[in-house]
Amino acid sequence: MKFEATTIKDIAKALGLSTSTISRALRDSYEISEETKKLVLECAEKLNYRPNPIALSLKERRSRSIGVIVCEIANNFFSQIINGIESVAYERGYNVIIAQSHESYEREIMDLQFLASRSVDGLLISVSTETNDINHLKSLHDRGLPIVFFDRTLEGLNTHSVIVDNFNGAYLATEHLIKNGYKNIAAITNSEFLSITNERLAGYKQALIDNNLPVKNSFIQHCFYGGMVFSEVEEAVNKLFTQKQKPDAIFATSDKLSSGCLKTLNRRGLSIPNDIALVGFSNTDIAELLKPSLTVIRQPAYEMGRAATDLLLQQIESKRPVKDFEKRVLLPELIIGDSSSPLKK
């Protein structure tokens, strides 16, 4: 707040008491008389006293704020996660300070410095596409900063993490296509650096194998920036169509990739699922609008945000460092377009 906010001193002056007495009364200390306590509380109310969190932070050496690093805020999946993070933080009286990496390792390091300089009590992070080492996180973590990974994790750091069951999500998606008669299923996926990519690709491959379908490398296209730049997706899709053997279905492994694929197919004049089928990870609410043509894997993003924040605050507020780190796995949901979806013969 601005201008002369009421402080504990003002109350002390008004009541002719010392600041320590006021402090005790407000903190409901046992060593205080009921009488003065009531007096102080009334006065505080009257003067509209609000404790100054900054002074408190300085004293307690904690800021009651947590940092969040995501690649992009303006992304349905991540904004839903942030919604979840914010809801838990708000409930527990914490601030959330958000920083974006824009999928850049360099920027992620800057974000980290910024958040550290803002004295966050803990960090929630979903690493950038370019990130493949933990050096920048390790030093902070070693100095005692609690960290929780969500969605995209990194090996080598002893922390909690919250992810979705990527293997199963991808398996379900691929299986869905197979069950509908598709046999040449391509995958448009993220950078190989990302944990989620490998987990999802593993699920995709396993589904093919379990159904006696071949795994073809030419059918697997990586988009390094995960669809953040549209041209990348367009190129990947185009590559699929310039091969001798063309896919009859595409599995896209993220929100941006799914919409990027749709956009590309749309531009090429291909209709779904008549010309080509598509199943993808998507948390865009409009996804449901493309029913019955589109089946999507929805990730429990809000829940992921809540779970990660809960784990982080638990760790922040526990006195001793946590010994047993938890890897919480949430279940994705297959939202099936419609039974009227035409069966490929």
How remote is the C-alpha of 21 from its chain's centroid? 45
Number of residues forming the site for DNA (CB under 7 A): 30
Between 21 and 258, name the residue whose CB sits nearer to DNA: 21
For 13, how many CA atoms within 13 A lie in the half-sphere containing its CB?
6
Token pair for residue 210? Answer: 């379990």
3-state secondary structure 103-146: CCHHHHHHHHHHHHHCCCCEEEECCCCCCCCCHHHHHHHHCCCC
Q: Which of left, alpha, beta for 48 (phi over 0: left; psi -120 to 50: alpha)? A: left
Kindly indicate which of the ranges 9-17, 68-76, 93-101, 215-223 contains the residues binding DNA, using the contact rule CB under 7 A. 9-17
CB of 169 to its own copies, least distance (A): 20
How remote is the C-alpha of 244 from its chain's centroid? 39
User: Residue 36 binds which entry of its own copies, DNA, none, with Cβ cut-offs from 5 to 8 Å by kind?
Assistant: DNA
Between 214 and 321, name the residue whose CB sits nearer to its own copies: 321
Geometric angle at alpha carbon 163, from 337 and 79, rounded to 5°: 70
Between 23 and 87, name the residue whose CB sits nearer to DNA: 23
- Which residue type is seen at 122? G
Residues 54-113 that bind DNA (CB under 7 A): 55-56, 58-59, 61
Q: How many CB atoms lie within 10 A of CB 67?
A: 26
Find out whether 250 and 237 touch, Cβ atoms under 8 Å. yes
**Which residues face 337 on adjacent strands?**
none
Q: How far is CA 168 from CA 137, 201, 253, 261, 297, in A?
A: 29, 10, 12, 22, 10
β-strands 333-335, 295-298: how paired? antiparallel
| Site for DNA contains 7 (CB under 7 A) | yes
CB of 224 to its own copies, least distance (A): 19
CB of 114 to DNA, least distance (A): 16
CB of 319 to DNA, least distance (A): 14
Q: How many CB atoms lie within 10 A of CB 218?
A: 12
| Site for DNA contains 26 (CB under 7 A) | yes
Using CB atoms within 10 Å of the CB of residue 122, give its burial: 0 to 12 exposed, 13 to 18 middle, 19+ buried.
Answer: buried
User: Residue 145 binds which entry of DNA, its own copies, none, with Cβ cut-offs from 5 to 8 Å by kind?
Assistant: its own copies
C-alpha distance across the termini of the chain, in Å: 68
User: Residue 254 binds which entry of its own copies, DNA, none, with Cβ cut-offs from 5 to 8 Å by kind?
Assistant: none
Between 59 and 323, name the residue whose CB sits nearer to DNA: 59
| Site for DNA contains 24 (CB under 7 A) | yes
User: Residue 9 binds which entry of its own copies, DNA, none, with Cβ cut-offs from 5 to 8 Å by kind?
Assistant: DNA
Binding site for its own copies (CB under 8 A): 1-3, 50-55, 57-58, 63, 65, 72-76, 79-80, 82-83, 86, 90, 95-100, 114, 116-119, 140, 143-145, 259, 262-263, 266, 284-291, 302
User: Residue 324 binds which entry of its own copies, DNA, none, with Cβ cut-offs from 5 to 8 Å by kind?
Assistant: none
Please give the residue ranges that form the binding site for DNA (CB under 7 A): 5, 7-9, 16-21, 23-24, 26-27, 30-33, 35-37, 49-52, 55-56, 58-59, 61
